[in-house]
Structure 1
Amino acid sequence: MENNVKQIHSFGQSIWLDFIDREIMASGKLQSLIDVDGVRGVTSNPAIFEKAITSSSDYNADIKAAAASSKTNEELFFKLAIKDIQNACDLFAGLYNEAPKGSDGYVSLEVSPFLALDTEGTTKQALELWKAVGRDNVMIKIPGTQPGLPAIRTAISEGLNINVTLLFGLPRYAAVAEAYIAGLEDRLAAGKAIDNISSVASFFLSRIDVVVDPILEAKAEKELTGEVAIASAKKAYEIYKQVFSGERWEKLAAKGAKPQRLLWASTGSKNPAFKDTKYVEALIGPDTVDTVPLETIEAFRDHGIAADTLELGLDNATAILEKIKTLGIDIDAITQQLEDEGIEKFNKPFEKLLQAIEDQKAKV
C-alpha cells in the first residue's frame, strides 16, 4: 500500500515541508521525508528560523564564529540561514535535476520581514540573497504586498526563482500572476532565457477561516464555517487556469516558461473541531504545491485521504463567496487585514530572533 502522502504526488501536486532546522537535516529525518513521503521541497520563514535558532545549541558555534565579521544581528542571522538553505538545496539537488529539470526540489528563503512594504529594499536584498545562496534550486520569498509587486517583477526579470508569500485575496493573487508574466516578458525583451525560472504564489488558507468563521457563527451561518478559505483557493485555481493559457502566455511557454504554480500555505487546521488534514485533502490537484507543517504530514501519513479534489464543487465555491457578500462580509477588507497581521506575525518573531542572537553573542 503506497504511503498516503506520496499518493498526493500521483495527482500532480507536490508536497513541500514547511519547516527547517539543522537537526532535521543532520539526523537524516529530512532525507527520510524525501524517500518515504515523497516530500519535494522546503519552505522557511522568520518564525521557523526563530524557533530553530532559539530552541537548540546547534547554532552557537556559528554565532561565535560570525559575530566579529557581522555588522548587524540581521547580517549574522542571514549567514546562519544561508548555510541551512544551502545544505537543504544540496539535499534536494537530485530531485531538482530530475527530468524535466527544475520542476521541483526547491528550498525557500525569505527576505527580511522588515522590508515587506519597501520595494527597493526588497529587490536589493532578494538579489543579494540569491547570489549568496548560489544554488539554482533556491527560491527567494517576497511578500505579495502592493510594494512587493514591482520587486517580484524585477526579480523575475533578473532570473531569480521567486516564492510570492502572504497572499490572502483573489485580486492580489491576480496582480501577482501579472507581475510574474510581466517579469518574464521583460527578461525575454532583454534577450535572456526564461526556461530556467520557477515561481510559486503562496495562498494562505486556514487564517482566512480563523477570521471569517466567528463572523459566520454570529450570523447563525454555522454550515459555512471552514468553507471560505477552500472556496477562495478553488477560485484562485480558476484564475490560474485562465492566466496561464491564451495567446499572451503561449508566447512565453513557447520559449520554455513555466506557469507560476499556486502553493497552498497555512494548511494545518487551526480549529480543533476540524479534521487535522482538512485543508490538505480539499485542495489536491495538478500543477500545485502544498507546503505542510511536519505534524500535518505525519497526520496525513496516518489517516489522510488522497484524491483529486481541487476542481470539485467549483459552483459551490462561487456560491459560498457570493453568499458571504450578501451577508455583508467584506472579504477584501478581511484579506487586507490578514496581510497586515501577517507582516506583523513575521516581524515579531524576527525581532525576537535578532534579540536571541544578541543574547547568544553575549554568552559566547
Structure 2
Amino acid sequence: MSKLSDLSAAGTAVWLDFVDRKFLAAGGLQKLVDEDGLTGVTSNPSIFEKAMGHGDAYDASLAKYDAAHAGAATIDRYEAQAIEDIKAAADTLRPVYDRLDARDGYVSLEVRPTIADDTDATIAEAQKLWAAVDKPNLMIKIPGTLAGGPAISATIAAGINVNVTLLFAQDAYQRIAEAYVTGLEERVRQGQPIDRLASVASFFVSRIDSAIDKKIDERVAAGDKDADALKTLRGKVAIANAKQAYAWFQDFTASERWQALAAKGARPQRLLWASTGTKDPAYPETLYVDTLIGHDTVNTMPPKTMDAFREKGTVAETLTQDVAGARHVLAEAERLGLDLTGVTDTLVEEGVASFAKAFEDLLGAIAKKQPVTA
C-alpha cells in the first residue's frame, strides 16, 4: 500500500477531486481504491465542464440519450450524463461504503451553482438528484451560502447526505456545522434514524493563500514599512485558518448538544480540505496535505497532488500541532491589515460565479452537440 493509505490510517480520508468517463471505464477509480485506499470522490461544475465540454468521450452516450428523448432540454441532457458517471463511481465505492458501515465511500454531485442563493430551489434540486441517482453513498453538494444553510438543514432532515462546498471563513463554517446539527435534531424529532447519515464541510485552502500572498507581494514591492513581517506570512494564512476551523470542530463535537446526537448514532460532519493543489510553484506540491492531517477529516485531491503525495508526502498528525502558532499567524494577518474576512467573502462570491460560468459553458458545449431536427 502507498503513502496515501498511510494518510487514511492517520485519520485523513483520501478522496479524489476528479471524475471522467474514460477514467472510470478504464478502471482508474478502482485502481485508486485497491492500491491507495481511496474512499471518496468529489465533482463540481468545472470538472464536468472539462470532461463533457471537450473531446468526444460523451458523444455516443449523448446520441443514445437523444435518440430516446427527442427534443430534450440541454439541462436534462447534461444531468443524464452526470448521473451516469456518478452512479458508476458510487458503484465502484459501494464496497468501501459497506465495509466502513456508511462512514465513508461517498461520491458527490453538486446542485446547479446558478441557484446558490435560492433556498427552496436548492432543496428541490437536492431531492431530485438524490432520487435520480438512488445510491445510499451519494452526497449532494450544496454551496455554503447564506441561502444554503437552511437548505442543508432541510436536506439532512430529509435523510439526504450533504457535502457543503465553498467554505472559506470560520463563521461560515460554524454556521454550516450548526445547520447540519439542526437538520439532525429535526430528524430525531420526526422519529427518524440518524445513524447512517453523513456530511462533510468542504473548507477551501489554497485559494486563500493565493489571494493573501498577492496582497503581501504587492505591499512588499511597494516598499511597505511592514515588509519583513508580511513576508513571514506567505503561505501560512490558509493553513492557520484551517487549523482554527479544526480546533473549533473538536470543541463542538465535545459539546453537550453534539454528544446528545452522538448518543443516538450521529456521525460528525467531517472537515474536508478542498482546493489542496498548490498554486505557487515556490511551495511544495504536498503543502496542503502534509500540514492538514488529523482524525475525522478528508482531503480531496486533484490527480497531480495525489501523485505528488504518493511520491514525497509526509504523514504525521499535523492539524493539532502548534495551534498557538496558527492563532498568532491569524492575529498578525489582522494586525497587518490583510483583511482575511474581506478575502474570504470575495472568494465565496468568486467561487459561486466561477462554478456558474463553468456550468453555463458546459451547457453551451452540450447544446452544440444537440442533434439537428428537421
Tell me whether the two structures share a fold, i.e. TM-score over 0.5.
yes
Query: Do structure 1's residue 277 and structure 2's residue 277 form an aligned pair?
Result: no
Following superposition, the deviation at residue 73 of structure 1 comes to 1.0
C-alpha separation between the residues in 1 aligned to 2:261 and 2:245?
Answer: 21
Out of 225, 241, 246, the position equivalent to 2:255 is 246
Match of 1:360 in 2: 369
Q: Structure 2: where are the runs of 5+ without partners? A: none
Letter of the 1:92 counterpart: L
SS of 1:251's partner is: helix
SS of 1:224's partner is: coil
C-alpha separation between the residues in 2 aligned to 1:280 and 1:12?
Answer: 12
Out of 271, 285, 298, the position equivalent to 1:262 is 271
After TM superposition, which residue ranges in structure 1, 4 or more long, deviate above 6 angstroms? none
Choose 346-355 or 164-173, whichever is displaced more: 346-355
Q: Structure 1: where are the runs of 5+ without partners? A: none
Query: Do structure 1's residue 341 and structure 2's residue 364 form an aligned pair?
Result: no
SS of 1:92's partner is: helix
Match of 2:331 in 1: 322
Cα deviation code 1:60-112 (max 9, x no counterpart)? 1221233335642112111110010001000000000014x011100000000
SS of 1:42's partner is: strand
C-alpha separation between the residues in 1 aligned to 2:297 and 2:289?
Answer: 12
Letter of the 1:113 counterpart: P
Match of 2:80 in 1: 79
Residues 229 and 66 of structure 1, relative CA distance in 2, 3 Å threshold: same
C-alpha separation between the residues in 1 aligned to 2:54 and 2:37?
Answer: 27
C-alpha separation between the residues in 1 aligned to 2:61 and 2:8?
Answer: 37
C-alpha separation between the residues in 2 aligned to 1:229 and 1:193?
Answer: 37
Contact 1:70/1:76 (<8 A) preserved: no
Cα deviation code 1:199-236 (max 9, x no counterpart)? 00000000001111122231521121010000000000
Match of 2:28 in 1: 29
Letter of the 1:86 counterpart: K
Match of 1:90 in 2: 91
C-alpha separation between the residues in 2 aligned to 1:21 and 1:56?
Answer: 12
SS of 1:328's partner is: coil
Contact 1:4/1:300 (<8 A) preserved: yes
User: TM-score, length-normalised on structure 1?
Assistant: 0.97
Question: Number of matched residues?
Answer: 362
Mapping of residues 198-213 of structure 1, within 5 Å: 198-213=198-213
Match of 1:155 in 2: 155
Match of 2:37 in 1: 38
Letter of the 1:15 counterpart: V
Match of 1:232 in 2: 241
Match of 1:193 in 2: 193
Residues 145 and 251 of structure 1, relative CA distance in 2, 3 Å threshold: same
CA root-mean-square deviation: 1.3
Cα deviation code 1:291-330 (max 9, x no counterpart)? 0000100111111111111111100000011111111222
Match of 2:164 in 1: 164
Cα deviation code 1:12-60 (max 9, x no counterpart)? 1101000001111111111111111111110000000111112332211
Out of 289, 295, 308, the position equivalent to 2:304 is 295
Match of 2:319 in 1: 310
User: TM-score, length-normalised on structure 2?
Assistant: 0.95
Choose 54-63 or 282-291, whichever is displaced more: 54-63
Letter of the 2:77 counterpart: L
Query: Do structure 1's residue 124 and structure 2's residue 133 form an aligned pair?
Result: no
